[in-house]
Amino acid sequence: MKASKTKAASLFMIGTLLVAAGCSDRLDFDRSNSFDVPSKKDLTPVTITFASGDNNPLWDDMQSEVGKLITEKTGISIKAQFPGNDTDTDMFARMVASNEYPDMVSAKVSVGKLKDAGALIDLTPLIDAHAPNIKKLYGEYMKRLRWSNDDHGIYVLPTAPVNQTYFKAGSGFELQHAVLKELGYPQIKTVKDFEHALKTYYNKHKTTADGQPIIPLSLNGGEWQFLISVTNPAVAATGASDDGEFYIDQDTYEAKLHYLRPEEKEYFRWLNHMHDIGLLDPESFVQKVGQYRAKIASGRVLGLIDADWDFAGEVAALKKEGKIDQTYAHFPVTLNESFKRHDFQSTGYLAGIGISITKSAKDPVRIIQFLDYLASDEGQVLVNWGIEGKHYKVENGTRVIPEDISKMKFNDNWNFRKTTGVDMYRFGPSYGDGVKDPTGNYYTPVFPEQIQKEYTQEDRETLAAYKVKSYKDLWPSEKEFTVKPWGSAWTINMETGSEANIIFQQCEAIVKKRITQAILSKPEQFDAIWDDFMKELEKAGVEKLNEAYTKLVKDRVKLWNE
């Protein structure tokens, strides 16, 4: 879940991030250049070009209230580009092919390709000379920003929040409040419990109040979100921690493609069963993300298996329309009660994915100063809370969100973010939820008291029925697990063009094809298809991949902990 939260909140990452490790001698940037001049506050208007691997439908060229104030404070405006209907990997591949880059990138899975191509500059001298707030923010975790054991340069400023406390459980298995209420708030612990709730309600209700056909369960499996909605849940529901496409042994650090685990075969067998009995949306593996989200926004999808950032806009739309009983409660569902979900197992500080400055940047100093302002106490309060007097007020030394702003944020979140700019500019270094600033207030408005204020009446009724104060209370506590010394494996770099990287790409193609086929097959065909799946992975060289990735995990442990 923390991976999902990181993606959501800081946007982070999604799915499997296996990217290339490069060498410092391939850079066009000279470490000896004179960045060690005294940092001066320059407010001359400058436009930074920026390419983000994540689409942002709310982006408005910093014309929101917060965006304009950031420009006023820094002189910086941003011209951004996003993948649109393309993929982020294609967008960055074209940059590498043309050797033309924007000033700043958030390259996600392609950061290694850009590093290998010599496109990214080492930020170390810039940080030393011009970024005291960035240094303060990362603090003891600065060494985790190093690229590799062989290259200690800093090419990425991670967007994962520092010292994050996870107060929310926004992932797992979701059920509409209407379903839970009608069924008397049944136990929802296993996939069979989840299935029974869907089946019981669906047997009574085939259409919504406005006559639309009800869909018991839909998965976002038509595009890259296949990883989030289809395959990642197999890991979580069978008691393993989120390490992207790999399972890592906690004691030996041995890595293997997680689909090789026999427990996961049984999870996918359950999805096959759900398809067979007509509870799984038959369009789950062909629908576009827009189609999936439109179904949710219509209120006719009873259950989801997804991360809340993937359908947050649709939940906001349901709230705006007053269909709050058709929004969702979250549950830590497992394959059976012998498994314990590891969603909240601590990764320590999760470096790896974030912002980079390219060799094409015309003024790297201004860019790092801009990012340093966002990392300052003032900048962090601005991007997270907004403007004092407009979006929050201070009462007796405590930041408070006024009732009218809170209602707008709650009932029409997308419009709130687009017009105010609050929570829109967290694309640089940031403090995590639960961290307090020098005034004793939280840097972000995500903390238990505020979360509880934002619960709907339906949320409160559901939580009361299960005798908890928050959805997170349903999950095993982070205190039940040890900290993972490698962080999360989905942030570990894999060298582009290496034998392991090529094998991995072949395995990924096999995974998508075979798992979809297995789920949609007749139950009596499932085992044969799965056997063929395992044979194809073996033929592709999965054991070599496992060995190579084990070495990468052990190298990460050495880099971060020595």
What's phi and psi for 203, nearest 5 deg? Answer: -65, -25
Q: Is the pLDDT of residue 3 over 60?
A: no
pLDDT digits (tens, 9 = 90+) for 122-148: 999 999 999 999 999 999 999 999 999
Angle, alpha carbons 548-552-556 (nearest 5°)? 170
Q: Tell me which fold the domain 173-345+449-480 belongs to.
A: D-Maltodextrin-Binding Protein; domain 2 (3.40.190)
pLDDT digits (tens, 9 = 90+) for 245-296: 999 999 999 999 999 999 999 999 999 999 999 999 999 999 999 999 999 9
Task: List Cβ neighbours of 327 (8 Å cut-off, separation of 6 or more).
Answer: 176, 177, 315, 318, 319, 456, 458
pLDDT digits (tens, 9 = 90+) for 429-441: 999 999 999 999 9
What's phi and psi for 83, nearest 5 deg? Answer: -60, -30
Say what the pLDDT of residue 40 is.
60
Q: Is the pLDDT of residue 11 over 90?
A: no
Q: How far apart are CA 255 and CA 158, in angstroms?
A: 24
| Contact yes or no for 78/59 (Cβ under 8 A) | no
Positive or negative, the CA dihedral 504, 506, 512, 518 is negative
Task: List Cβ neighbours of 352 (8 Å cut-off, separation of 6 or more).
Answer: 17, 156, 158, 160, 487, 491, 492, 493
pLDDT digits (tens, 9 = 90+) for 544-553: 999 999 999 9
Which of 150-159, 288-297, 407-416, 424-433 is predicted with the least confidence, judged by mean pLDDT?
407-416
Which of 24-38, 192-206, 295-309 is predicted with the least confidence, judged by mean pLDDT?
24-38
Q: Tell me if domain 10-164+348-439 and domain 173-345+449-480 are identical in fold.
A: yes
Nearest to residue 221, comparing CAs of 304, 159, 122, 138?
304
Q: Is the pLDDT of residue 153 over 50?
A: yes
For range 206-222, the mean pLDDT: 96
| Contact yes or no for 219/300 (Cβ under 8 A) | no
Q: How many angstroms separate the Cα of 122 from the Cα of each of 145, 197, 301, 315?
A: 11, 53, 47, 41
| Contact yes or no for 466/474 (Cβ under 8 A) | yes
- The model's confidence at residue 41, banded by pLDDT at 50, 70 and 90, is confident
Which of helix, strand or coil describes residue 50? strand
pTM score of the predicted model: 0.82
Q: Tell me which fold the domain 10-164+348-439 belongs to.
A: D-Maltodextrin-Binding Protein; domain 2 (3.40.190)
Look at the block and give the residue holding tokens 């009574």.
204
Q: How far apart are CA 518 and CA 529, in angstroms?
A: 6
Nearest to residue 300, comparing CAs of 233, 220, 219, 218?
218
- The model's confidence at residue 170, banded by pLDDT at 50, 70 and 90, is confident
Q: How far apart are CA 51 and CA 105, in angstroms?
A: 5
Burial 155-173 (b: 16+ CB within 10 A, else e): bbbbbbbbebebbbbbbbb
pLDDT averaged over every residue in the chain: 90
Q: Where exactly are the structural domains of the chain?
A: 10-164+348-439, 173-345+449-480, 494-561
* The token pair that represents 164 in the structure block: 């994050």
| Contact yes or no for 253/187 (Cβ under 8 A) | no
Q: What is the DSSP secondary structure assignment for residue 391, as one 8-state letter?
A: T
Say what the pLDDT of residue 7 is.
38
pLDDT digits (tens, 9 = 90+) for 516-545: 999 999 999 999 999 999 999 999 999 999
Q: How far apart are the first and last CA of the chain?
A: 27
pLDDT digits (tens, 9 = 90+) for 369-410: 999 999 999 999 999 999 999 999 999 999 999 999 988 888
- The model's confidence at residue 19, banded by pLDDT at 50, 70 and 90, is very low
Say what the pLDDT of residue 352 is.
77
Look at the block and give the residue holding tokens 């806009």.
313
Which of helix, strand or coil describes residue 191? helix
Q: Is the pLDDT of residue 182 over 90?
A: yes
Strand pairing partners for 256? 247
For range 294-307, the mean pLDDT: 97
Q: Which residue intervals of 230-349 are DSSP H helices?
A: 232-236, 262-276, 289-297, 312-320
Which of 140-144, 337-341, 491-495 is predicted with the least confidence, judged by mean pLDDT?
491-495
Hey, what amino acid is at 73?
Answer: K
